[in-house]
Amino acid sequence: MQAKINTFFKPSSSSSPSPITASVSSDADDDGLSVWENSRNTIVNTYQRRSARSGQVLKECIEKPLEMKGSCSGVKNLKKKRNYTQFHLELGQSDFLLRQCGECGVKYAPGDELDEKSHQCFHKNYMNGIPFKGWQNERAFTSPLFDKNRIVMVLDNDSPAHRNKVQEVVKMMEVELGEDWIIHKHCKVYLCVSSQRISGCLVAEPIKEAFKVIAPSDNERQLKKESSSFSSPSTSIQFGNILLQREVSKRCRASEDRLDNGAIVCEEEAKPAVCGIRAIWVSPSNRRKGLATWLLDTARESFSNNGCVLEKSEVALSQPSSMGRAF
């Protein structure tokens, strides 16, 4: 038995790998163990020299991180910053969904970043004027009373860039004066420019006649003043010797800034007129500075084609608001 085992583990003398079998003598052909070894216990070992390329591939596989099948977009990035949404509680607020600005009158959704940014942009343009850098060819009028300011006149046959800027200003005017009536193709537009912003605008049209407004009597003015004082609600409440004062904050613009609903009585006989002022507007932060008067005087000086200055009696205005009536 010892001889058989040594023969089994004896290395082969040939250089090429070959099956290693146990040699047995003819006397042991009938041995059951030898028969089982020859038929079942045959071991084949094949060895090949590894190439240099295979070692490099193995090194790359070890250094390369594991990847999932498909695109890498499916891998979750745990380091990504999370977005936390701010929720609001509705407790019966009157302006929970939309809030109206007390100065520009625009409604916006508080908490909405895009809506608040849009409101801030419109609010700045409405209060201070629309940005304007100027044109190369413009009809400019200056005045020694208004240093570094000028008035630019725009006609209907001017370039599209000029007319587009006028439409942008008219859209701003329509917030207070109403829509779809301010301008038409026969109008002359005067833009007041100050600090690279259009702070005022006047729209004039040619007319032939107008009707003079009858001024209200002193009794009507006093009656209107008394009625307005009685209609205003009281802001103080008294409990015995204690007087409580209520603070009132306006959430929207007063109706006096809009079109005046009061009746305007005119004479029945028409008077000759040359220039009709359809609309005149000044941004809120530039009011009470004489810009509206400067616009009106410039229109009287340059409206006529023959170069003559129009008299005040030759100029007529459309139905004004309360501030326009005071002007």
Q: Which pLDDT score, from 0 to 100, does residue 56 have?
A: 65
Residue 190, pLDDT above cutoff 90: yes
pLDDT digits (tens, 9 = 90+) for 283-327: 999 999 999 999 999 999 999 888 889 999 999 998 887 788 788
Cβ atoms within 10 Å of 130's Cβ, excluding its own: 19
* CB of 223 closer than 8 Å to CB of 232: no
**Judging by DSSP bridges, how do beta strands 209-213 and 266-272 pair with one another?**
antiparallel
For tokens 């940005």, the residue is 131
Task: Name which of 318, 323, 315 is nearest 299 in CA terms.
Answer: 315
Residue 140, pLDDT above cutoff 70: yes
* CB of 286 closer than 8 Å to CB of 226: no
CB neighbour class for 310 (10 Å; exposed up to 12, middle 13-18, buried from 19): middle
Residue 223, pLDDT above cutoff 60: no
Domains and CATH numbers, the chain: 94-128 (no CATH), 130-213+264-326 (3.40.630.30)
The values of phi and psi at residue 259, to 5°, are -65, 135
Cβ atoms within 10 Å of 245's Cβ, excluding its own: 8
The token duo for 71 is 């695109």
Contacts of 289 (CB under 8 A, 6+ apart): none
Distance, in Å, from the CA atom of 303 to the CA atom of 207, rounded to the nearest integer, reads 12
* CB of 318 closer than 8 Å to CB of 276: yes
Residue 230, pLDDT above cutoff 60: no
Q: Which pLDDT score, from 0 to 100, does residue 149 have?
A: 92
The token duo for 288 is 């009470």
* CB of 66 closer than 8 Å to CB of 214: no
The token duo for 90 is 């509705």
Distance, in Å, from the CA atom of 227 to the CA atom of 232, rounded to the nearest integer, reads 9
Distance, in Å, from the CA atom of 295 to the CA atom of 306, rounded to the nearest integer, reads 19
Q: Which pLDDT score, from 0 to 100, does residue 322 have?
A: 77
Residue 59, pLDDT above cutoff 90: no
Q: How many helices (H) and strands (E) does the chain have?
A: 8, 13
- Percent of the chain whose pLDDT exceeds 70: 60
Q: Averaged over 86-97, what is the pLDDT?
A: 66
- The listed range with the strongest mean pLDDT (53-62, 71-80, 237-246) is 237-246
More confident residue, 184 or 65: 184
Confidence of residue 237 (pLDDT cuts 50, 70, 90): confident
Per DSSP, helices labelled H in the chain are 2-8, 32-39, 52-63, 113-128, 160-177, 218-231, 291-302, 322-326
- The listed range with the strongest mean pLDDT (55-59, 142-146, 151-155, 267-271) is 151-155
Task: Kindly state the helix (H) or strand (E) to which residue 179 belongs, with its residue range.
Answer: none
Confidence of residue 44 (pLDDT cuts 50, 70, 90): low
Its pTM surpasses 0.75:
no
